[in-house]
Amino acid sequence: MHDYLATLNEQQKEAVLYTEGPLMIVAGAGSGKTKVLTTRIAHLIQGGIDSFRILALTFTNKAAREMKERIESILGNSEARNLYIGTFHSVFARVLRVEAERMGYPSNFTIYDTEDAKSLIKSIVKERNLDDKVYKASYVYNRISSAKNNLYTYKEYKEDHNIQQEDARSNRPQIGEIFETYSKRCFKNGAMDFDDLLVNTYILLTNFPEVLSKYQHKFQYVMIDEYQDTNLAQYHIVKLLSAMHENICVVGDDAQSIYSFRGASMENIFQFQKDYEDVKIIKLEQNYRSTGTILNAANEVISKNENQIKKELWTDKESGEKIKLVCSFTDNDEGKFVADAIMEQKLRNHFSNKDFVILYRTNAQSRAFEESLRRLGILYRIYGGMSFYHRKEIKDYVAYLRIIVNSQDEESMKRIINYPARGIGQTSLNKISLAAQEQNKSFFEMLSEAASIGIKGSTLSTIHDFVTAVKHFQSIAEKKNAYEIAMEIGKQFGVLKDLNSDKTIEGLAKYENIQELLNSIKEYTETPDEEGELTDKPLGTYLQQITLLTDADQNADEEQDCVKLMTVHASKGLEFPNVFVVGMEENIFPSSMSMYDRADLEEERRLFYVAITRARENVWISYANNRYRFGSLISNDPSRFIEELPTHLVDASLAKKAAFKTTTFTSNKTKNDTVQQKKIPSKPASNYVPSSDFIADEPGKMQAGMQVEHQRFGIGTIVTLEGAIANKVATIDFGTMGQKKIMLNYAKLRIMN
């Protein structure tokens, strides 16, 4: 083992060596906090601390995995595998699996993701005959979620005067009632949502002193990364767990607090200093990541915030290139610019694809960049958005696995009882669901007694067959391994057959996804457990794991040489040589939702700060004058944050040049319209603006058999044309992209010769 202290600076070293008592590390962006954390843990283990007694909580699964690997490489042995390290959610899901039965939950409880939770809320709103436009599932969910993050039970929620007034004012006085039903229903289903994992951990630790004592003893050292993004529930859990040894070390940066919408509160940082009299505070202020220019620009931006801990981030790196400000005419032009710039940088400065990241405020902004990168043949990968395990076909399959593991789970039961279609309709389901509630039985129990509530004929026998099959799998669930069971379920219930019969491109993709799911289960069953033994692993653990996985956690093709696209949120903790921060416009960044409140706006500014500080060498800040939104063109002013960058650090030549850039127009009606040269107008001159090198042909000219080019799908052949002249739909075969139905009136297609 090498001398792990040698590469640390004074403050870093101090933080590593200060192991006893409460410690807060205020770590600026790029100041080596992961290095400090991993070295600190390695140092503890090296000093004889039992690795089983160290708890480290991170913000993402990926961060946890990487930390584990780094600790292993410092130590040169496999001690790190014994650490309790992971996200709050995954670590406490693991704890709850052991302890949940004390609270009346099955140890195989199901974890509901946001989609599951919203669908349950939806059905409760429906049952109560409330207007689902007023009681929108997402609104109600957010309301319940933030209550839980602040440790409100439904009872407290209903009794809280302020909350009741808020709900009354928003004309949604029933939210408390929905909250109550929702909580009871989750409990009855043997299910916890994301927030419950924290809330129930808190309840467990406060209501069961013997449990608290057990984990307090166990965790001799507690470390928390990204402390600025913890919420009240997490704060209390951590405080309880570390109360005995008080060897608690938190690492955070108030300037990077960007999750308040999820209940996170920077207050926790200030509170930490009040909670412990003997708290030690170490600031890491040397930045090892970015050039002087980037760092100075970032410092300047964040200094506009009122609410912050003062610190002075510095670097001894050279100043480097100026920040490049880019203005494009439309969002498509912006995409094209970025792709071109990447191409140019690759050729000129020998960068490869993986040296670039495109950061945007919202997931929906990725499209223009996908198109332009694809057109130049640049490999890219989008992080975020829909994770693999959230795809519909995967969730359906997973729902089968869930009910085998936990038959109380009504949501999952409803999801698949008639998939593939077997003739159990909505009417019967409503009947059963209602009866189950009245008789206080689980949905599954009620299914077994369907005859007693007047269900008969073929529906009854289908239900009977279904119940028998489920019971069969439950009975063998203990004996066979997870992969075999999953495989057989697919066969037995006709899921595999159903997917296999769909020969469309989408259908094939779905089938492949299911194969991938099955492979992942197989891999899971074949991976040795923590003691290195190859035991038959329970399906329940697998299911809990995958629900807590996000897209960013998938690292299968991590090493592929791709340009990365992601939201600024998703980029936290990462670094890249070249960063494009795009869509820097009012209403987008800052978001229109966050412009009218100082605290919200400051969070947007911190977000911008996070974006800039991801970069090692180059930053481009880009905005477009016009962009498509809901299918029509809108125009935004450049973001106010651009003005906050010091002008001497910004190269604005690309923004000025764009003002005289030639843009190609084609009119909607007549082809071969004269190409106009224009200065950038502040409002769109035309409703139809294709990217400049692409001239669409008239819809009327399209004929079957023609080769056409589509800006997103590439080159394809028109298979059929259907519909009236005003509303023609073409089926076009784009080869590897599959067959697409395209509305000619909307799509821009160019005829190839």
Chain residues that interact with DNA, rule: CB under 7 A: 59-61, 87-90, 113-114, 132, 138, 194-195, 258-259, 261-262, 361-364, 384, 418, 421, 423-428, 459, 548, 550-552, 566-567, 569-570, 591, 593-594, 600, 628-631, 746-748
* CB 632 to DNA: min, Å: 7
In which residue are the tokens 């409503």 written?
A: 430
* CB 677 to DNA: min, Å: 25
Instruction: Find all residues with CB under 8 Å of 132, minimum gap 6, and list them.
Output: 122, 125, 126
* CB 183 to DNA: min, Å: 17
* CB 424 to DNA: min, Å: 6
Sign of the CA dihedral 297, 300, 306, 309?
positive
- Dihedral angle, C-alpha 269, 270, 275, 277, nearest 10 °: 110
- Using the minimum distance from each CB to DNA, give the nearer residue, 194 or 380: 194
- Using the minimum distance from each CB to DNA, give the nearer residue, 43 or 748: 748
Q: At what angle do helices 539-547 and 505-526 cross, to 10 degrees?
A: 120
Please state whether beta strands 576-581 and 615-629 pair in parallel, antiparallel, or not at all (unpaired).
parallel
- Using the minimum distance from each CB to DNA, give the nearer residue, 216 or 365: 365
* CB 699 to DNA: min, Å: 11
- Using the minimum distance from each CB to DNA, give the nearer residue, 292 or 385: 385
**Annotated catalytic residue within 11, 12, 33, 87:** 33
**Annotated catalytic residue within 256, 293, 365, 547:** 256
**Annotated catalytic residue within 34, 174, 206, 308:** 34
Residue 58 is a catalytic residue: no
Sign of the CA dihedral 202, 204, 206, 211?
negative
* CB 630 to DNA: min, Å: 4
Question: How far, in Å, CA of 719 to CA of 730, rounded?
Answer: 7
- Using the minimum distance from each CB to DNA, give the nearer residue, 75 or 730: 730
Assigned token pair, 494? 């006709």
Asked if residue 436 lies in contact with residue 446, where contact means CB atoms within 8 angstroms, the answer is yes
Question: How far, in Å, CA of 555 to CA of 574, rounded?
Answer: 14
- Using the minimum distance from each CB to DNA, give the nearer residue, 593 or 659: 593
- Using the minimum distance from each CB to DNA, give the nearer residue, 283 or 375: 375
Residue 33 is a catalytic residue: yes
Question: How far, in Å, CA of 461 to CA of 710, rounded?
Answer: 51
Partners of 26 in the beta sheet? 252, 283
Residue 185 is a catalytic residue: no
* CB 752 to DNA: min, Å: 18
* CB 454 to DNA: min, Å: 13
CA 130 to chain centre: 30
DSSP3 helix / strand / coil % (the chain, rounded to 5):
50, 15, 35
Q: Position 119: which residue type?
A: S
Nearest Cα neighbor of 148 from 86, 203, 206 is 203
Burial of 148 (0-12, 13-18, 19+ CB in 10 A): buried
* CB 82 to DNA: min, Å: 21
Residue 226 is a catalytic residue: yes
**What 8-state DSSP symbol labels residue 115?**
H
Residue 169 is a catalytic residue: no
**What 8-state DSSP symbol labels residue 678?**
-
The terminus-to-terminus CA distance of the chain in angstroms comes to: 65
Helix (H) or strand (E) holding 192: strand 191-193
3-state secondary structure of 551: helix
- Using the minimum distance from each CB to DNA, give the nearer residue, 172 or 283: 172
A 10 A CB-CB count for 503 gives: 8
* CB 467 to DNA: min, Å: 16
**What 8-state DSSP symbol labels residue 72?**
H
Q: How many helices (H) and strands (E) does the chain have?
A: 29, 21
Question: How far, in Å, CA of 51 to CA of 80, rounded?
Answer: 7
User: Does the N-terminal peptide bond of residue 681 adopt cis geometry, omega within 30 degrees of 0?
Assistant: no
Residue 34 is a catalytic residue: yes
Nearest Cα neighbor of 243 from 199, 275, 207 is 275
Helix (H) or strand (E) holding 576: strand 576-581
DSSP code string of 498-540: HHHH--SHHHHHHHHHHHHHHHHHHHHHHS--TTS------HH
* CB 123 to DNA: min, Å: 11
**Annotated catalytic residue within 148, 564, 614, 640:** 614
* CB 738 to DNA: min, Å: 13
Question: How far, in Å, CA of 295 to CA of 314, rounded?
Answer: 7
- Using the minimum distance from each CB to DNA, give the nearer residue, 656 or 701: 701
- Using the minimum distance from each CB to DNA, give the nearer residue, 436 or 655: 436
- Using the minimum distance from each CB to DNA, give the nearer residue, 315 or 372: 372
- Using the minimum distance from each CB to DNA, give the nearer residue, 318 or 630: 630
Q: Position 441: which residue type?
A: K
Asked if residue 205 lies in contact with residue 240, where contact means CB atoms within 8 angstroms, the answer is yes
**Annotated catalytic residue within 167, 226, 331, 393:** 226
Burial of 549 (0-12, 13-18, 19+ CB in 10 A): middle
Question: How far, in Å, CA of 596 to CA of 254, rounded?
Answer: 21
**Annotated catalytic residue within 167, 193, 225, 553:** 225
Catalytic site positions = 33-34, 225-226, 256, 614
